[in-house]
């Protein structure tokens, strides 16, 4: 079966990495990972956490910025009009907004609190990356069809090259996961695996060392 999008020019080129990548890690917090919480326990999300740990290590070894975020509210009144009831329980100071221990141990450089789907909305993430002269954003995190997708679109809209590490993002549902990866790949991002991302990170280390 032909791809109707491809026949209309979608996905007609790859972006490739620029000179300097940075890594953003979206919402790998206990409320979305830990099965003790209503939105936690998805196998795809847990596998994505495992795959992200060496990606963070590679970025840090190369001296590249690693920005993580969690969804958190001071009170339910601070939240947008979510249709997802458990999101309103992601309150500051509660265990649900703690980073997954594996991600916390990996040691992201910056931890941001966000109140909307995208890591870039009303946060200093873009300013930090721009200050670091980053031109390529590698995206990891959850949920693929929600906050990851929103972060991809915002990174694209801000003028970054966007790379989604396929095995470092996860969703509650495998079909939604694959459909959203395919769709952002048509429009906004290259979808690669973490091994390819680590290879590019290592290559960037040499380029940026000469600056």
Catalytic residues: 147
Rounded to 5 degrees, what are φ and ψ at 24?
Answer: -115, 135
Q: How far apart are CA 98 and CA 96, in angstroms?
A: 6
Contacts of 128 (CB under 8 A, 6+ apart): 65, 67, 110
DSSP structure string for 2-69? --HHHHTTTT-S-----S-EEEEEE--BHHHH-TTSTT---HHHHHHHHHHHHHHHHHHHTT--EEEE
């Amino acid at each position: 079966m032909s791809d109707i999008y491809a026949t209309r020019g979608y996905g007609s080129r790859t972006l490739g990495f620029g000179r300097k990548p940075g890594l953003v890690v979206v919402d790998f917090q206990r409320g979305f990972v830990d099965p003790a919480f209503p939105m936690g326990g998805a196998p795809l999300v847990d596998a994505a956490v495992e795959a992200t740990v060496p990606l963070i290590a590679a970025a840090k070894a190369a001296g590249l910025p690693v920005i993580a975020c969690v969804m958190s509210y001071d009170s339910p009144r601070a939240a947008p009009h979510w249709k997802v009831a458990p999101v309103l329980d992601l309150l500051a100071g509660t265990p649900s907004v703690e980073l997954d221990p594996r991600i916390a141990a990996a040691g992201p450089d910056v931890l941001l609190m966000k109140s909307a789907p995208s890591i870039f909305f009303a946060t200093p993430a873009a300013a930090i990356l721009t200050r670091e002269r980053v031109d390529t954003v590698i995206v990891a995190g959850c949920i693929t069809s929600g906050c990851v997708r929103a972060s991809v679109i915002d990174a694209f809209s801000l003028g970054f090259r966007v790379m989604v590490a396929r095995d470092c993002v996860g969703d509650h549902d495998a079909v939604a996961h694959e459909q959203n990866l395919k769709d952002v790949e048509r429009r906004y991002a290259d979808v690669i695996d973490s091994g390819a991302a680590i290879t590019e990170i290592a290559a960037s280390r040499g380029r940026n060392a000469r600056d």
